[in-house]
Structure 1
């Protein structure tokens, strides 16, 4: 059975709630403090992107168990305008908000797997997984 918890993202406090949920699940699964920080940083970036670019959406955390391995899946989805050029937003240094441009490429580096699906009709879904070492 898959355990999934979600936080709706509508304001900045929801970003904090999503981060805290991720940290709690990561701690329960046995992630060390460095990986807990990586996971919460990734969640924070994904939630902030939902808030800034889509307005609303949700962050869901799923516990994973596969052949004795344990991990955590982060699913960020929204019904926003979508990402017009995924290749561009995945370039280090690219920013539409005037930030450092570490956003999605940073999330990809922090997690073990990273997948993005986006369209103007359906919004954006990003799935990132981290396994306990």
Structure 2
């Protein structure tokens, strides 16, 4: 097993806790920034797939690649966070309208729709 030389920076929650224990979504101050999940079906099953997000910030400057695969879950989570940080460096400060698109946050700093 690979040593984990990385510490998470953003909030990670199970995407659907009642269905999958290896499917996580990442948030930065309520903004969905990406997702990781273990591949259960393809020829590469067992690996972790990662995808960048930010659909609620349409002017976010995405970097490529914005998807990929890794062996370890922490590597996939790091890839999402690195992807987001690179896009954030390109995009600059988050515009005010993004908070309106996200909507109200709960006490944990997550969008209320996530808990519905």
TM-score normalised by L of structure 1: 0.27
More helix by share: 1
With normalisation by structure 2, the TM-score equals 0.29
Which protein has greater RCO, CA pairs closer than 8 Å, 6+ apart? 1
More strand by share: 1
